[in-house]
Chains A and B, each alone.
Chain A
Amino acid sequence: AAGVIQSPRHLIKEKRETATLKCYPIPRHDTVYWYQQGPGQDPQFLISFYEKMQSDKGSIPDRFSAQQFSDYHSELNMSSLELGDSALYFCASSPPWGMNGYTFGSGTRLTVV
């Protein structure tokens, strides 16, 4: 069965560099959520998209931006990276309203050095 695909799996960047993380949802899922999980911390909700429009915004820094494309995949762009941005970034997708079933990706582990 198809799953949520995230790329890359691992990423190492230097401070002040930029990074782009990608999330490919389950086919026919129209909503994508992004989470950031630092070491030993609960996942923090960053942002979500529904039908290519931003639907909810959480604790996403101004240095980060995201969008959902026509094929429903989403990209999280991170600029001016800081050491504290090192974390596991995972996305989840969910089907149209009224249907249940989130599917989570395996995440991208970002290390900023």
Chain B
Amino acid sequence: AQTVTQSQPEMSVQEAETVTLSCTYDTSESDYYLFWYKQPPSRQMILVIRQEAYKQQNATENRFSVNFQKAAKSFSLKISDSQLGDAAMYFCAMDSNYQLIWGAGTKLIIKP
């Protein structure tokens, strides 16, 4: 079965510091896509970063970067220089075999 696991229901970080959100997944497919989405109070899903499994290089978008460990099936999100606006739910998701599988989410709290 294809699964995505976020083991941290909630994380908190001091403003301007760095935080890492964990995500592990399981799939038998060799080609798939991994995503991190941010869900602010508006409930909209905002794509933060996307990684293609066949690319070894870790994706980076400004202050957001991932640590993609394909053999370990791990896809963590690092947020550098945390800002108050980063506070939200973060979801890890996997697009594999034409299915979109979601993690349970991690609530990120930013302490001023």
Could you list which residues of chain A lie within 8 angstroms of chain B, going by C-beta atoms?
Answer: 33, 35, 37, 42-45, 48, 56, 58, 88, 90, 92, 100-104, 106-107
Give the number of residues in B that approach A within 8 Å (Cβ atoms).
18
29 contacts between A and B (CB under 8 A): A35-B45, A37-B100, A42-B37, A42-B46, A42-B47, A43-B37, A43-B45, A44-B44, A44-B45, A45-B43, A45-B44, A45-B45, A48-B43, A56-B43, A58-B43, A58-B44, A88-B100, A92-B102, A100-B104, A100-B105, A101-B9, A101-B104, A102-B89, A102-B104, A102-B105, A103-B104, A104-B100, A104-B101, A104-B102
Could you list which residues of chain B lie within 8 angstroms of chain A, going by C-beta atoms?
Answer: 9-10, 37, 42-47, 89, 91, 99-102, 104-105, 107
A-B pairs with CB below 8 Å: how many?
44
Q: When chains A and B are docked, how far (Å) is the Cα of A44 from the Cα of B46?
A: 9
* Given A43-B37, A100-B107, A58:B42 Cβ within 8 A: yes
